[in-house]
Amino acid sequence: MKGQAVRQVMKVVEAVNQITVTGMVLAAAPAGEYDRRIVLLTKERGKISAFARGARKPNSALVGVTSPFSFGEFTVYEGRTSYTLMSASISNYFQELRQDVEGAYYGFYFLELAGYYAREANDETELLRLLYQTFRALVNPKLPNRLIRCIYELRAVTVNGEGPQMFECVCCGDKEREMVFSVRRGGLVCRQCSGSVQDGRALHGSALYTLQYIVSSPIEKLYTFIVTDEVQAEVENVVTDYLAQYVGKQFKSLEILRVIAENENA
């Protein structure tokens, strides 16, 4: 009788410590013989790592749901020091990326950048929304991957509070004068203040407008435009230099993307 009572209490405790979170699998790594450890970006708990018992057994219900890109609801048991995945209900596996090697590597890079920014117990609602919309864009054949990458990178930096000032001079706040863009100053600098700026570059109107749109539009409206090759090149230069200055981390998935891009251009 006593054993049964204890078991019942344990069940109650387990139920109390179970939570369902909305999120996306950022990474998965083998653990032990049959298990997996996954990293989730969640709305409710920020970035968490969870243990998925038996997730590498072929008939396990946790096989597919613990693959990177899976987005949905995850029920986890919250232990004292770690989470254990109990079950999941996936609303989007972004399966199209399984047949699209280049798209998949863009996807891995987007996950890696999100993982770099996300913190445990932090409110990452916006980053998760951005990531989800970015993956929807990635499986949309009408949108070029290079543009998606620029939009995602600049907006991810912005969500993290390090985005460039694109609407007024970072030195004096002027909005009217002609501006140059300075990576080192973190945004626009007006002609009057630009004397001491060494890396100022003039931007064409449409490139400026594109950058303004990326940092300020609602996340759901981000992937609703395409640009000419000239604008793409200009925006890409700004974003690449900006990330080199403010992120400054070498991402593994980015190395692979570089190789793919080089092969394309060869």
User: Of 185, 215, 211, nearest to 200 (Cα)?
Assistant: 185
Contact string (CB under 5 A) for Zn ion, positions 189-228, x = contact:
-x--x-----------------------------------
CB atoms within 10 A of CB 256: 16
171 scored as a contact of Zn ion (CB under 5 A)? yes
The yes or no reply on residue 169 touching Zn ion (CB under 5 A) is yes
**Closer of 146 and 191 to Zn ion (Cβ):** 191
Cα dihedral sign, 63-69-72-76: positive
Asked whether position 172 contacts Zn ion by CB under 5 A, the answer is yes
Give dist(CA 167, CA 170) in Å, integer: 9
CA distance 146 to 149: 5
Count of alpha carbons within 13 angstroms of residue 201, beta-carbon side: 16
Stretch that binds Zn ion, among 11-19, 58-66, 102-110, 164-172 (CB under 5 A): 164-172
Q: Which amino acid is at 6?
A: V
Q: Which of 174, 219, 240, 260 binds Zn ion (CB under 5 A)?
A: 174
H or E element, residue 46:
strand 46-52
**104 or 208, CB closer to Zn ion?**
208
Shortest spacing between CB 173 and Zn ion, in angstroms: 7
Q: Which is nearer to Zn ion, 39 or 169 (CB)?
A: 169
Binding site for Zn ion (CB under 5 A): 169, 171-172, 174, 190, 193
